[in-house]
Chains A and B, each alone.
Chain A
Amino acid sequence: MTSTEPHRLWDILKRYDSNPDALIQILNEIQKDEGYLPHITLKLLSSELDVPLSKIYGVLTFYEHFKLVKPGKIIITICMGTACFVKGSPALNTTVKNMLGIESGETTSDQLFTFERVACLGCCALAPVVQINGEVHGQMTPNKLQKLLTKICKEEEKGEEK
């Protein structure tokens, strides 16, 4: 959804009767659609709901889930839940940092990878867990993760050549 396609925003608003109480639901839907919350859409939302833009920003920055920056093509999420933590997720963090040169919350300059951390994915019995574009990989080790990321990088390079 960009400024040229506002009709998708209208669809979402219609589903929630443009009710300001449903702000979080609406933001959720926009993010599902777009991958993040573009400023231009939020401005439009502000006037449609008659809610000040500052209020919208106040609410969305409170919640971990909302993103204001466009994420990369591949999102790597490291679970930092207690079970994952005691079973070695800090070393997985270091591995991603070493390989991609970015900190959690950042995206690589080629827009390929975004690195995130999450409080818990709820797959604790498979700890430590890494999620890559929604797919859960359990019982991870730094070495397995390095292999996996190298494989993804190679596949992406091949894709680009084609």
Chain B
Amino acid sequence: MTNGNPKKKKKNHERRILICQGTGCISSKSNEIRKKFETEIVKAGIHEKVEVTFTGCHGFCAQGPLVFIKPEETLYCKVKVEDVEKIVESHIKKNEPVEDLFYEDPKTGKKIEKHNEIDFYAKQKRMILENCGHINPEDINEYLHIGGYSGLKKAFSMKPEEVIEAIKESGLRGRGGAGFPTGLKWGFCRNAPGKEKYVICNADEGDPGAFMDRSILEADPHSVLEGMIIGGYAIGASNGIIYVRSEYPLAVHRFRKTVEDAKELNFLGKNVLDSGFDFDVMIQEGAGAFVCGEETALMASIEGERGIPKPRPPFPATSGLWGKPTNINNVKSWAAAAWIFKNGVEEFKKVGVKTSTGTAIFSLTGKVKNSGLIEVPMGTTLREIIFGIGGGILDDKKFKAVQTGGPSGGCLPASKLDLGVDFETLQAEGSIMGSGGMVVADENTCMVDLARYFLAFTQKESCGKCTPCREGTLRALEILERITRGEADLSDLDDLEELCHVIKDTSLCALGQTAPNPILSTLKHFRHEYEEHITDLRCSARVCTELYTFVIDEEKCIKCGLCARICPVEAIMGSKETSFRIDCRLCTHCQMCYNRCPKDAIEKVSGKC
């Protein structure tokens, strides 16, 4: 047993080449890039001086594969295998960075070398994500060298009650969505009678459009584990469980390695770091049910049952997993707890606003130039996030709405862009902070269709236990589908609104209680779009397939016949001698012709077929 000391000394390389191996960059072949770097460095005979290693997600996935060179802090974007030789020859050997591969600022067109000078990073405040992309997530020594597990040691020097007091003092609130004060939650569980207690890490990131938890588990898994051990010690729980989506195989793999390595250095097991406290962690893979993000459903799933929520009370703090007191927190909350003990309560409280301290982590995606994983102080405005960090709307189109909180959240229009993000502000506007999904919609997004999309999701994921959610979401979905098909009348909108309130007020768990949020918020801010679908039979964003058709503009058409050749359903007829036309009854709206026409002669025209 080495009791928390690293097994090997840190090697002092002159230079380090860090290749991002998050799910995003791996999908763009960063594995091959890493191998190529390794061979090239050995070939050049400089492997003693230059280290090639990998990291988890940097957060700037849209620019991947990313290669990071230290100590210069140079960030290379969209690197290809063919570029590796050039980087080694020019940058590593001759100290001449390769400008072609720098990030190009979409506003100025200027090439930027250093990562912290790029707007996307410069405008963020990375606390929880500070190690993501900077350390090898599969090497516990790297985590130790940057002060990892020092928070745990500090916690062990305090009494469990003092640890809980410190968390209360920090103002940390649950990062899973509800924003319940973490210290209070830990206190309830600590004070609950019973010897055997559990702490659970909820990594069942079910919100579509969100990948914060996945990225943290892939890039800095030890911080999550450290937080869980601190929580276990404070609560008096010797058993930890992490419930992680099986759709995230890399996160599962890395966390498994994390647990093994931590065991070897006695951060887990009997008598952790001679503190007298025993702690062990088990990994449980989820099986793809959104409702399992709800804590009572999650526990049912761990017990091998259908993931169906239970009424509360009793609360998990008194009777949770297998009837024992249980404390569940989200991945980000656990990582934040580790950060607080490493850096101090005061440092954490300095950031954010009074009722919501610390930072908020979002996965900024959709129609935005710089999509990726971001971290900002609570209270930062939506405008700063979308136009500052995000660099504005893709193709300079017009901003329409921002959706936060996934299927439980709502859509906010341009007039709300100057709101700061924190738990209370977003809720007051009919949205929620949620787990951290932030999807930007532009003028080409139909808000009715977006509401229909979210409701189709929650309707499918409703566990079926309570009637308002099971039946209510289905009926609401039927109304929305009628609207998007142009078969509804205006009275449907009143029915829809009433139905939404009933579902909200009478559902058993948060899934049902929040399912109507996307509808209610779009009805509030974008009612004209609903009315347009109903009365004019028009979808001005040209998304609802029943309400627009593809038409060939004869003036622009050069009669090349490409569209007719590539149409998979033979809906385009005509000949080079005469002209071409699209039969809207056969068209499936696959957009193949629309995307490929060399003269942009195919147009989307509002109206029914």
**Complex contacts, A83 vs chain B, CB 8 Å:** 208-209, 365-366, 371, 439
Q: Indicate if B327 sits at the interface (CB-CB under 8 A).
A: no
Of residues 96 through 138 on chain B, the ones whose CB sits less than 8 Å from some CB of chain A are none
Nearest CB of B to A154, in Å:
17
Say yes or no: A82 contacts B209, CB within 8 Å.
Answer: yes
Please measure, in the bound complex, the distance between the C-alpha atom of A91 and the C-alpha atom of B594, giving whole angstroms. Answer: 11
Contacting residue for A81 out of B209, B284, B302, B588, CB 8 A: B209
Q: Indicate if A108 sits at the interface (CB-CB under 8 A).
A: no
Q: Indicate if A24 sits at the interface (CB-CB under 8 A).
A: yes
A120-B371 contact in complex given A63-B307, A82-B406, A125-B24, C-beta closer than 8 Å: no
Say yes or no: B289 contacts A64, CB within 8 Å.
Answer: yes
**Complex contacts, A138 vs chain B, CB 8 Å:** 24, 27-28
**Complex contacts, B591 vs chain A, CB 8 Å:** 88, 91, 94, 142
Say yes or no: B372 contacts A125, CB within 8 Å.
Answer: yes
Please measure, in the bound complex, the distance between the C-alpha atom of A21 and the C-alpha atom of B301, giving whole angstroms. Answer: 9
Q: Indicate if B315 sits at the interface (CB-CB under 8 A).
A: no
Q: Indicate if A121 sits at the interface (CB-CB under 8 A).
A: yes
Please measure, in the bound complex, the distance between the C-alpha atom of A86 and the C-alpha atom of B209, giving whole angstroms. Answer: 10
Please measure, in the bound complex, the distance between the C-alpha atom of A138 and the C-alpha atom of B61, giving whole angstroms. Answer: 10
Size of A's binding interface in residues, CB under 8 A: 49
**Complex contacts, B599 vs chain A, CB 8 Å:** none
Size of B's binding interface in residues, CB under 8 A: 64
Q: Indicate if B304 sits at the interface (CB-CB under 8 A).
A: yes
- One digit per residue, 1 when the CB lies within 8 angstroms of any chain B CB and 0 when it does not, for chain A 28-43 equals 1000000000000000
Q: Indicate if B247 sits at the interface (CB-CB under 8 A).
A: yes
Q: Indicate if A158 sits at the interface (CB-CB under 8 A).
A: no
Please measure, in the bound complex, the distance between the C-alpha atom of A111 and the C-alpha atom of B52, giving whole angstroms. Answer: 43
Say yes or no: B307 contacts A62, CB within 8 Å.
Answer: yes
Q: Indicate if B261 sits at the interface (CB-CB under 8 A).
A: no
A143-B592 contact in complex given A59-B306, A62-B307, A126-B27, C-beta closer than 8 Å: yes
Please measure, in the bound complex, the distance between the C-alpha atom of A92 and the C-alpha atom of B23, giving whole angstroms. Answer: 21
Q: Indicate if A97 sits at the interface (CB-CB under 8 A).
A: yes
Q: Indicate if B178 sits at the interface (CB-CB under 8 A).
A: no
Of residues 538 through 591 on chain B, the ones whose CB sits less than 8 Å from some CB of chain A are 566, 568-569, 588-591
Please measure, in the bound complex, the distance between the C-alpha atom of A127 and the C-alpha atom of B28, giving whole angstroms. Answer: 13
Say yes or no: B589 contacts A63, CB within 8 Å.
Answer: no
**Complex contacts, A112 vs chain B, CB 8 Å:** none
Say yes or no: A91 contacts B590, CB within 8 Å.
Answer: yes
A86-B588 contact in complex given A28-B287, A125-B62, A125-B372, C-beta closer than 8 Å: no
Say yes or no: B285 contacts A25, CB within 8 Å.
Answer: yes
Please measure, in the bound complex, the distance between the C-alpha atom of A57 and the C-alpha atom of B61, giving whole angstroms. Answer: 39
The closest CB in chain A to the CB of B60 belongs to A125
A119-B205 contact in complex given A97-B588, A126-B27, A141-B595, C-beta closer than 8 Å: no
Say yes or no: B208 contacts A119, CB within 8 Å.
Answer: yes
Please measure, in the bound complex, the distance between the C-alpha atom of A27 and the C-alpha atom of B301, giving whole angstroms. Answer: 13
**Complex contacts, B248 vs chain A, CB 8 Å:** 122
A28-B24 contact in complex given A21-B304, A95-B592, A125-B62, C-beta closer than 8 Å: no
Contacting residue for A122 out of B23, B28, B303, B372, CB 8 A: B23
- One digit per residue, 1 when the CB lies within 8 angstroms of any chain A CB and 0 when it does not, for chain B 27-43 equals 11000000000000000
**Complex contacts, B596 vs chain A, CB 8 Å:** 143
Q: Indicate if A110 sits at the interface (CB-CB under 8 A).
A: no
Contacting residue for A124 out of B305, B363, B445, CB 8 A: B363
The closest CB in chain B to the CB of A28 belongs to B285
The closest CB in chain B to the CB of A49 belongs to B304
Please measure, in the bound complex, the distance between the C-alpha atom of A87 and the C-alpha atom of B24, giving whole angstroms. Answer: 17
Please measure, in the bound complex, the distance between the C-alpha atom of A138 and the C-alpha atom of B307, giving whole angstroms. Answer: 32
Say yes or no: A120 contacts B210, CB within 8 Å.
Answer: yes
Nearest CB of A to B32, in Å:
13
Q: Indicate if B367 sits at the interface (CB-CB under 8 A).
A: yes
Nearest CB of A to B296, in Å:
15
Of residues 37 through 89 on chain B, the ones whose CB sits less than 8 Å from some CB of chain A are 60-62, 64
Please measure, in the bound complex, the distance between the C-alpha atom of A64 and the C-alpha atom of B204, giving whole angstroms. Answer: 13
Please measure, in the bound complex, the distance between the C-alpha atom of A135 and the C-alpha atom of B289, giving whole angstroms. Answer: 22
Q: Indicate if A146 sits at the interface (CB-CB under 8 A).
A: yes
Please measure, in the bound complex, the distance between the C-alpha atom of A27 and the C-alpha atom of B348, giving whole angstroms. Answer: 43
A120-B207 contact in complex given A99-B568, A125-B372, C-beta closer than 8 Å: yes
Please measure, in the bound complex, the distance between the C-alpha atom of A129 and the C-alpha atom of B365, giving whole angstroms. Answer: 13
Of residues 76 through 121 on chain A, the ones whose CB sits less than 8 Å from some CB of chain B are 80-88, 91, 94-95, 97-99, 118-121
Nearest CB of A to B387, in Å:
18
- One digit per residue, 1 when the CB lies within 8 angstroms of any chain A CB and 0 when it does not, for chain B 209-232 equals 111001000000000000000000
Q: Indicate if B457 sits at the interface (CB-CB under 8 A).
A: yes
The closest CB in chain B to the CB of A21 belongs to B304
Please measure, in the bound complex, the distance between the C-alpha atom of A28 and the C-alpha atom of B588, giving whole angstroms. Answer: 37
Please measure, in the bound complex, the distance between the C-alpha atom of A126 and the C-alpha atom of B588, giving whole angstroms. Answer: 25
**Complex contacts, A95 vs chain B, CB 8 Å:** 568, 590, 592
The closest CB in chain B to the CB of A98 belongs to B568
**Chain A positions near chain B (C-beta within 8 angstroms):** 20-25, 27-28, 58-59, 62-66, 80-88, 91, 94-95, 97-99, 118-127, 129, 135-138, 141-143, 146
Please list 6 pairs of residues, one from A and one from B, whose beta carbons are closer than 8 Å in the complex, sorted by A's number.
A25-B304, A59-B304, A82-B403, A86-B439, A136-B23, A138-B27
